[in-house]
Amino acid sequence: MAFDKTGWSTIAAGKAGNAPSMYSYKTADTQATVNTAGYFNSIASIVSVGDIIFVYDTTTPSLVLTYVNANSGTVVDIADGTTVSATDSD
């Protein structure tokens, strides 16, 4: 699938200094699809290197914490990220 802006939300925008912005993204796409270079190209003008993204995969479901590791202005790449795991034993 492709990036769908309806799943994109700004959590905190770093307006001063070098603070990164934080975003959340909810999608049915797998993390392998989302972390492919070029997936976020349509928002290249919005994200900067170092910005943090919480990616929630509704299919698995799973949550991955990642960040923008490259943005040429047209091509965006994110790190593979770290899966946030939780146990629900009840």
| pLDDT (tens place) for every residue of the chain, 90 residues total | 789 999 999 999 977 778 899 999 999 999 999 999 999 999 999 999 999 999 999 998 899 999 999 999 999 999 999 999 888 888
Rounded Cα distance, 64 and 53, in Å: 8
Q: What per-residue confidence (pLDDT) applies to 90?
A: 81
The dihedral through the CA atoms of 38, 77, 50, 31 has a sign that is positive
Conformation bin of residue 89: beta by default, left when phi > 0, alpha when psi is -120 to 50 = alpha
Q: What per-residue confidence (pLDDT) applies to 50?
A: 95
Q: What per-residue confidence (pLDDT) applies to 71?
A: 97
Residue 33 DSSP class: H
Q: What per-residue confidence (pLDDT) applies to 70?
A: 98
Rounded to two decimals, the pTM is 0.91
Q: Judge residue 59's burial from the number of C-beta atoms within 10 Å of its C-beta, 0-12 exposed, 13-18 middle, 19 or more buried.
A: exposed
